[in-house]
């Protein structure tokens, strides 16, 4: 099978959270370019509208705060009303609280847990229930991080929640396989996005860059291949419970 066929997503309906910027924005472009209908979801409606203009008729914007569980069912209702049942869920929405453990407030912990962990659980559960009801199968792609496996100072809450997502990915894959639903994850290393730009632009990031064997940080486009592999039934139909690390070799060099 040629690559164009292997990664053809025609007929698939994708929902991407955190799509107003960064990785989510890139994911939406890539999925649509390969034939999927894409529902972009985030809180910043103005940015979603601009993204839809860029992509065209293959996309639909939905205002969604993933930390508000009462909005999730309605978001899927709106997606289905436009394109039909969602068959690809990209759980991309995330946040970071760059503080040491002892400096975290209860509100900090609640915010990062609600976005990075609780929302992924709730979105995956809603997607799976609807895929089962529609008998369409599908794939859930969770975005975790290399910090799920290695820890750096000042990222304790981020690391803990991303580690939980990695374990959640395996647990959901085990339970949902019988329903023809695959659950996998991508663990990026340091990628240039709005979330990381201030850190990566500062001199304090130099040790991080030097620790990466490829001697560079990644760009959002470096995740295109992993995304398409996991999104395509033809390319990864026998993959579930896997996490693909995309980090320039950084995991190999962590000490």
Catalytic machinery residues: 158
Contact 159, 144 (CB under 8 A): no
Contacts of 63 (CB under 8 A, 6+ apart): 41, 42, 43, 45, 48
Report the C-alpha gap between 16 and 41 in whole angstroms. 6
Contact 188, 92 (CB under 8 A): no
Residue from 179, 163, 196, 192 nearest 240 by CA: 179
Q: Give the pairing of strands 181-188 and 138-143.
A: parallel
């Amino acid at each position: 099978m040629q690559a164009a066929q292997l990664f053809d997503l025609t007929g698939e309906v994708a929902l991407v959270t955190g799509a107003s910027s960064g990785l989510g924005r890139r994911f939406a472009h890539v999925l649509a370019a390969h034939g999927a209908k894409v529902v972009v979801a985030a809180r910043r409606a103005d940015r979603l509208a601009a993204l839809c203009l860029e992509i065209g008729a293959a996309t639909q914007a939905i205002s969604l705060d993933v930390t508000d569980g009462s909005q999730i069912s309605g978001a899927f209702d709106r997606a289905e009303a436009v394109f039909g049942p969602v068959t690809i869920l990209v759980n991309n929405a995330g946040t970071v609280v760059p503080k040491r453990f002892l400096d975290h407030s209860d509100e900090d912990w609640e915010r990062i847990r609600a976005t990075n962990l609780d929302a992924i659980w709730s979105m995956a559960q809603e997607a799976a229930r609807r895929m089962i009801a529609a008998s369409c199968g599908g794939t859930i792609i969770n975005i975790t991080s290399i910090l799920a496996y290695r820890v750096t100072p000042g990222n304790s809450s981020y690391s803990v929640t991303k580690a939980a997502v990695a374990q959640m990915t395996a647990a959901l894959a085990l339970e949902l396989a019988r329903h023809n639903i695959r659950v996998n994850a991508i663990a990026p290393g340091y990628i240039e996005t709005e979330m990381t730009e201030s850190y990566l632009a500062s001199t304090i990031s130099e040790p991080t860059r030097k620790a990466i064997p490829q001697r560079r940080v990644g760009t959002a486009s470096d995740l295109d291949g992993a995304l398409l592999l996991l999104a395509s039934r033809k390319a990864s139909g026998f993959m579930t419970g896997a996490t693909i690390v995309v980090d320039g070799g950084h995991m190999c060099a962590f000490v």
